[in-house]
Structure 1
């Protein structure tokens, strides 16, 4: 039986959750540490999962991204057609134990090409109450939820793959409006920075 360190060992849903956490550790190491412990994984497990994932992505024998997610997560909980602008795709969603109110969503376009991969709110799960800057805490909301709550929001190019940004205005607790830059990793809010006050 292969050891967990062996390249032949299956890459599991636990490993994928560790990969998501590895990207989030740059902004919220304390939250990531707590989540890692909740999964029963060590820091070495997190590093190894990320190393193996990167090796899978770079392998000359790499399968398509859509096939890779199916091999790791199994059959999706749901799959539905989605149209985004001129793009027709299928939205496939899987539950992840670490975030029970979220789903890992992969948008699959023609010939199995993956157009997007991120965390979204699970169908039927309650949306967070987003009204002021104080509500924008790390891991509190997804890209779509922040964009809807503080519309109009302008998208920003992410600083790395799997990262997104939004610019919008939001009030503080006293009702004064500020320009906000919100940063997301795998679709989940990581941090916000505020600029000058807006009229």
Structure 2
């Protein structure tokens, strides 16, 4: 059963490549019943409502039975999937998650086109970090906000990027403070004089650098340091 439109409660159909899943809009356009260009606001692609004849949001959105704990575990899994060599072991119960939490983390990962209002219903109201930036506090990272950036489109609120930003504490003041979950990419760039990355919106960065004559590399996921080690190259 397809989800329902939140504007008119009509049935929604999926959108693929900027178009509803069948060619009915073209046929109705040819009959001059509607004017439809087929242009989408861009990914993530929304749904199409036949009653409103507009791109639309489904309602209800993700089930409210999801929890902040499951979201944190899904984020941890994402980080460890990108940087499996990271040595930091998460606290209980994330070091050996129970089956129900693993299942929920999997449900979080399968959700597509997340919206800020969906996240807020489960994570709590966000704090504004500026235009189209929404910051959530997560217990696993008390010194940082997880900031979500949204698209400014006709159907607003879709999350397309997330990164950690500092909430409390001080940026690094010595190389000894270059520890996992303690330093942000912009802070390390400022301290070491690293060049700005050419892909600031990428969620994974490996930065080579030198420390006391040794070739090193630092791994950042969502701008948060995950791993520091001597480089295997050169």
Q: 1:67 aligned to 2:117?
A: yes
Q: Choose from 58, 81, 89 the match for 1:31.
A: 89
Q: What is the match of residue 222 of structure 2?
A: 186
Q: Choose from 205, 217, 223 the match for 1:165.
A: 205
| Residues 154, 179 of structure 1: alpha-carbon distance in 2 compared, 3 angstrom cutoff | farther
Task: Give the Cα–Cα distance (whole angstroms) in 1 for the partners of residues 192 and 162 of structure 2.
Answer: 23
8 Å contact 1:108–1:114 — kept in the other structure?
yes
Task: Give the Cα–Cα distance (whole angstroms) in 1 for the partners of residues 165 and 79 of structure 2.
Answer: 16
8 Å contact 2:74–2:109 — kept in the other structure?
no
Structure number having the greater strand percentage:
1
Task: Give the Cα–Cα distance (whole angstroms) in 2 for the partners of residues 193 and 50 of structure 1.
Answer: 29
Number of aligned pairs?
167
Q: 1:19 aligned to 2:55?
A: no
RMSD over aligned Cα, in angstroms?
3.4
Task: Give the Cα–Cα distance (whole angstroms) in 1 for the partners of residues 95 and 206 of structure 2.
Answer: 33
8 Å contact 2:88–2:180 — kept in the other structure?
no
Displacement, 1:93?
Answer: 0.9
Structure number having the greater helix percentage:
1
Task: Give the Cα–Cα distance (whole angstroms) in 2 for the partners of residues 195 and 54 of structure 1.
Answer: 31
8 Å contact 2:172–2:188 — kept in the other structure?
no
SS, match of residue 47 in structure 1: helix
- Judge which range, 108-117 or 148-157, deviates more: 148-157
Q: 1:119 aligned to 2:168?
A: no
- Structure 2 length-normalised TM: 0.58
Q: 1:129 aligned to 2:172?
A: yes
Displacement, 1:130?
Answer: 4.2
SS, match of residue 181 in structure 2: coil
- Structure 1 length-normalised TM: 0.66
SS, match of residue 111 in structure 2: helix
Structure 2, unaligned stretches of length 5 or more? 1-61
Structure 1, unaligned stretches of length 5 or more? 1-6, 58-62, 82-88
Which has the larger Rg? 2
